[in-house]
Amino acid sequence: MLTLHTPAEYIRPLKVLSADHRALTHLALFSGGRHGFVKFYPSYAPRSLENEIVGYVMACHARIEQPPGGIIQLPGALLQGIGIPCEAPSAYCFVSMSCIDLNSRRQGSLFALLGDNLEALQGILQEWPGFPQLVAFDSWLANVDRNTGNLILTGNAHLIPIDHSDILTGPEWTHNDLVTMEEKWSFNKLLELIFPAESLPLPIRSAILKSAERFNAAYSLARRDLYRWLGSGDPDYLRAHHFIWGRAETTKSNLAAYFNMIL
């Protein structure tokens, strides 16, 4: 489950990554020779850290393979020293441990490896056994930004998803957003941009619907962990609980409607 990293585990920053992403991310060396991607979210993405935590916890209970994730509190001066603007004395960051050989040219995000080669992307996604489950999972949690940049190729047709910062309708969700979208279809980039419904083979569509049947059980298993990270007293957090529970009931029917399939 989610790891609470101590400051002693953090050895030193190695390099700051591209500024093209919402998260201000740097690669760091951790104890034991581990490499971790440390993500600091700025004020214009106020829900992203919460989303990362909730998404990671829910993916664990839904048995979605992902790199070990955790939280670490870092001094603001350290972040400022590597060019990441942080005005607070300290900040909580999300840590995603590296799941690839950082020196390999055959491992990395699908976008970095294949760019916009739609035929190649579709081929890998069709071969990957975890594709139906991930599509259903992202539809359940309303992840509006699952893309080829956060699908990591670790081997031959083996992918690992990272980044849950855009679940629950996005990085700035409000109570009203969750009320409005609880029973509605949410934008799913893997389907709508990479694999439109009419081009998705029927066995994969059926597997996606089958995967959606597991979410009630996954939510039941995750409730205690969710209450740990989403306090039970805040009205917005209560709405988030209800949103996740409610969509566990409706995701299969939403997907069936999108695919024009009869349940």
**CATH class, range 3-97:** alpha beta
SS3 content of the chain, % helix, strand, coil (to 5): 45, 20, 35
DSSP state of 192: I
pLDDT given for residue 215 in this prediction: 97
Query: What does residue 170 show for φ and ψ, rounded to 5 degrees?
Result: 140, 180
pLDDT given for residue 131 in this prediction: 97
Residue 136 contacts residue 251 (beta carbons within 8 Å): yes
Stretches in the chain below the pLDDT threshold 50: none
pLDDT given for residue 20 in this prediction: 60
Nearest to 192 by CA among 240, 138, 261: 138
Residue corresponding to tokens 């991310």:
25
User: What SS3 class is residue 196?
Assistant: coil
Count of alpha carbons within 13 angstroms of residue 155, beta-carbon side: 2
Residue 159 gets the label, from left (phi > 0), alpha (psi -120 to 50) or beta, of beta
Return d(Cα 168, Cα 178) in angstroms, integer.
7
Q: From the CB of residue 62, how many other CB atoms can be counted at a distance below 10 Å?
A: 21
Return d(Cα 60, Cα 173) in angstroms, integer.
23
Where do the domains of the chain lie? 3-97, 108-259
Return d(Cα 175, Cα 237) in angstroms, integer.
8
Superfamily the domain 108-259 falls into: Phosphatidylinositol 3-/4-kinase, catalytic domain (1.10.1070.11)
Residue 4 gets the label, from left (phi > 0), alpha (psi -120 to 50) or beta, of beta
Q: Which helix (H) or strand (E) holds 97?
A: strand 90-97
pLDDT given for residue 223 in this prediction: 92
pLDDT given for residue 161 in this prediction: 97
Residue corresponding to tokens 């992307």:
121
What are the pLDDT digits (tens) for 199-255? 899 999 999 999 999 999 999 999 999 988 887 678 999 999 999 999 999 999 999
Return d(Cα 248, Cα 228) in angstroms, integer.
20
pLDDT given for residue 155 in this prediction: 84
pLDDT given for residue 232 in this prediction: 67
Q: From the CB of residue 254, how many other CB atoms can be counted at a distance below 10 Å?
A: 18
